[in-house]
Amino acid sequence: MLIKNQIYEATVTDYTAEGQGVARIEGCAVFIPNAIAGEKCTVRIEKVGKTWAAGKMVQILERSPHRINRACPVAKLCGGCDFHHMDYEEECRLKASRVRDCLNRLGGQKLEEVPIHGAPSTTCYRNKAQYPVAVEKGRAYAGFFKAGTHQVIENKRCLILPEVADQVKDAVIDWMNQYRISVYDEETHRGLVRHIYVRQGAVSRQVLVCIVANGRKLNRIPELLDRLKKIPGFATLVLSVNTRPGNAVLGDEFITLWGPGYIEDTLCGLTFRLSPRSFYQVNHHQAQELYRAAITAAGITKADTVLDLYCGVGTITLAMSQAAGRVIGVEVIPQAVEDAKQNALRNGVTNAEFICADAGEAALALERQGIKADVVVVDPPRKGLNADAIEAIHRFSPRRLVYVSCDPATLARDVALLEQRGFRLQNAQAFDLFPRCAHVESIVTMIKEEQ
Ligand code: SAH
């Protein structure tokens, strides 16, 4: 049994899903933030659980060749990134291993390796920022939450964001301080501004600014617009009303204060309209790589009907429409479905339909109506597929299933469930859409076994 506050020597062998180092000390798995596999270090034990412990690195005894000096001045405090302490080669290696290990351990596969498509750039790649706002000594400021807390760490220039995002943040904060616009306080549930949300079209360069507020009324809008209009590409200002306590950033009501309320961007040769609430991958270059790989994996012909479950604004659906006979997208957020329909019109796509519903329920209903899906694509949120979606895929019995996933653990769970229903994994690839952060995307192709 490890003893709290005692210092032990350890060799780091692996990583957790969140990117912390893992070492085994006296048979117990110890999680050590900022440790790199292969490193020998001394660790102070801070918490002891039944089968695990958490520790803090005290001294590095043998340094990994992958350890680098952090370029970001607030990297140690800010909870936004996980990997500023290691080079990108090690980050890609650990992400690929994570996808492989999940598929093997939880998905019952025997993969030796899963290839990873690394990003060409690890900086300025995000096209969306959500800054929580806080106040100190009467001055508003914005930044990111310290890991595991709601303490806002000020970040003057975030390295993974485009400069324009920080320009918007600075303009809004300047406006708030000049006109004494209040900051929301989670504890008392008083005060107005909660988050500053910025989205930039990677190709169009259009900028959407959304102020998330604990109320419907914003004063001094002309003064805010004066500042925002100086920012290159500024296209629209939206107020998101979020009066509920809790962690959800955006509220359900959106009020357009200036401009059309959305921006446009180009992806895979198509134009997409993006509202604040619509999902859009944050790394444009890598999203294109991901979608192109999904299209190749789907092996679609003009005779095929493709069902795209969890379709968002129709990115994958429309990108696949050119190769297919008919495409049907299903998405639960009404604004995203509205965007998807507009996107089909905007791009002259006439063989796409969109349904606003739960993916599993809609898929079961389509199957009951006698629709045949030759290829099914799924791209669910982190929790993966629900029982209805698995059952519907089983009943559709498509030639191919392309599973785009943002969580290798739930992907692996679903792969095992689909194997029980006659699908076999044909190919697995990892994609890094989030350099410096622990998340990893992957695509798995499954084919239906001959009956
Ligand atoms: N394929 C799209 C979106 C993927 S993100 C793209 O790459 O752009 C996952 C999407 O699933 C989100 O748009 C989310 O709103 C949607 N979603 C979440 N739960 C859902 C459900 N139960 N049924 C249908 N869609 C859902």
Can you tell me which atom of ligand 1 is nearest the CA of 312? 13
Ligand 1 atom nearest the C-alpha of 377 is 1
CB 411 within 8 A of CB 401: no
- pTM of the predicted model as reported, rounded to 2 decimal places: 0.94
Q: Could you tell me the CA-to-CA distances from 274 to 187, 263, 292, 388 in Å, in that order?
A: 33, 5, 20, 29
| Gap between the Cα atoms of 87 and 346, Å rounded | 42
How does pLDDT run across 420-440, given as a tens digit for each residue? 999 999 999 999 999 999 999
Helical residues (DSSP H) of 31-162, grouped into ranges: 88-105
Quote the ligand 1 centre to 313 CA distance (angstroms): 9
- Please tell me the class of the 128-264 domain: mainly beta
Of 72, 81, 406, 437, catalytic: 406
Mean local confidence (pLDDT), 325-354: 96
Pocket test for ligand 1, best of 268, 310, 339, 366 (most atoms within 8 A of CB): 310
pLDDT for the residue 449:
79
Q: What is the pLDDT of residue 405?
A: 98
Considering all CA atoms of the chain, what is the largest pairwise distance in Å, rounded to the nearest integer?
70
CA of 268 to the centre of ligand 1 (A): 19
CA 279 / ligand 1 centre spacing (Å):
7
* Binding-site residues, ligand 1, Cβ < 6 A: 279-281, 310-312, 315-316, 330-333, 336, 358-359, 379, 381
Distance of CA 379 to the CA centre of its chain: 12
Mutation probe of ligand 1 site: the residue of 128, 331, 354, 406 with most atoms within 8 A of C-beta: 331
Domain ranges of the chain: 7-62, 104-118+283-448, 128-264
Instruction: Look up residue 149 and give its two tokens.
Output: 């807390």
Residue located nearest, by CA, to atom 15 of ligand 1: 333
| Of residues 189, 202, 227, the one with CA closest to residue 315 | 202
Q: Ligand 1 center to residue 332 CA distance, Å? A: 7
The DSSP string of 124-153 is S-BSEEEEEEEEETTEEEEEEEBTTS-PEE
Q: Above 80 in pLDDT, residue 220? A: yes
How confident is the model over 94-120, as pLDDT tens digits? 999 999 999 999 999 999 999 999 999
- Residue 406 known to be catalytic: yes
Answer whether 104-118+283-448 and 128-264 agree in fold.
no
CATH of domain 7-62: 2.40.50.140
- Asked if 433 and 405 count as a contact pair (C-beta separation under 8 A), the reply is no
- How far is ligand 1, taken at its centre, from the CA of residue 167, in Å? 30
- Convert the pLDDT of each residue in 244-256 to its tens digit: 999 999 999 999 9
Neighbours of 87 (CB within 10 A): 16
Contact criterion met (CB below 8 Å) for 192 and 218: yes
Residues, the chain, total? 451
Q: Which atom of ligand 1 is nearest to the CA of 380?
A: 9
Element (H or E) spanning 404, and its range? strand 400-405
Other beta carbons within 10 Å of 443: 25
Q: Mean per-residue pLDDT for 204-229?
A: 98
Average pLDDT over residues 374-389: 98
User: What local confidence, expressed as pLDDT, does residue 451 receive?
Assistant: 57
**% of the chain beyond a pLDDT of 90:** 96
> Is residue 295 classed as helix, strand or coil in its secondary structure?
helix
The architecture that CATH gives domain 104-118+283-448 is: 3-Layer(aba) Sandwich (3.40)
